[in-house]
Amino acid sequence: MSTIRLEQITGSDADLKAALTDAHLPTDDIEDSGRTFFKALSADGQIVGFSGVERCDGDYLLRSVVLHPDRRGTGLGKAVVEVTVASLDPGGGVFLATTSAASFFASIGFSEVPRDSVPAAVLATRQLSSICPSSATIMKLIKPPT
């Protein structure tokens, strides 16, 4: 499917924190329990970016998707999302909140959903309940990556 390989890291990983900070993505809660983060490696072993997931009862919040600036725009971001989603239990819904990349996620099969249709456990995550502005777009994976 892709040449991207994920390796699990902890929320205290300094490179993860730096990449999120540089991209203005939330870092306040990355060391809380219940989150799983990955570094994404290209075929030649270079770190191209990061991703993360939070388990929300049976569903997931996809978060912390970031590509190193010099690796953007070549399809790697899409590949990182697809590999991350492929690692999840297919029975769970996959949600995310974004203020800046809705069309990127739409190109992967996510669609905007109304807040009142989002499971309570997803809404209760720190990302959705306090860190992301209420104007953030909430999206759900409707079409699984092919």
Ligand X SMILES: CC(C)(COP(=O)(O)OP(=O)(O)OC[C@H]1O[C@@H](n2cnc3c(N)ncnc32)[C@H](O)[C@@H]1OP(=O)(O)O)[C@@H](O)C(=O)NCCC(=O)NCCS
Residues that bind ligand X (CB under 6 A): 23, 25, 65-67, 72-78, 98, 100-101, 103-104, 107
Q: How far apart are CA 42 and CA 48, in angstroms?
A: 6
| Minimum distance of ligand X from residue 98's CB (angstroms) | 4
Q: Encoding tokens for residue 86?
A: 């492929």
Closer Cβ to ligand X, 59 or 97, answer by number: 97
Burial label for 95, CB within 10 Å (0-12, 13-18, 19+), is buried
| Minimum distance of ligand X from residue 139's CB (angstroms) | 9
Closer Cβ to ligand X, 59 or 82, answer by number: 82
Closer Cβ to ligand X, 59 or 77, answer by number: 77
Q: How far apart are CA 84 and CA 37, in angstroms?
A: 10
| Minimum distance of ligand X from residue 11's CB (angstroms) | 16
* CA-CA-CA-CA dihedral for 50, 21, 131, 77, to nearest 10: -30
Closer Cβ to ligand X, 1 or 91, answer by number: 1
Name the DSSP letter for residue 108: T
Residue number of the CB atom closest to ligand X: 77
Closer Cβ to ligand X, 91 or 131, answer by number: 131
| Minimum distance of ligand X from residue 53's CB (angstroms) | 13
Q: List, in order, residues 6 or more apart from 100 with CB less than 8 Å away.
A: none
CB 26 within 8 A of CB 129: no
| Minimum distance of ligand X from residue 49's CB (angstroms) | 6
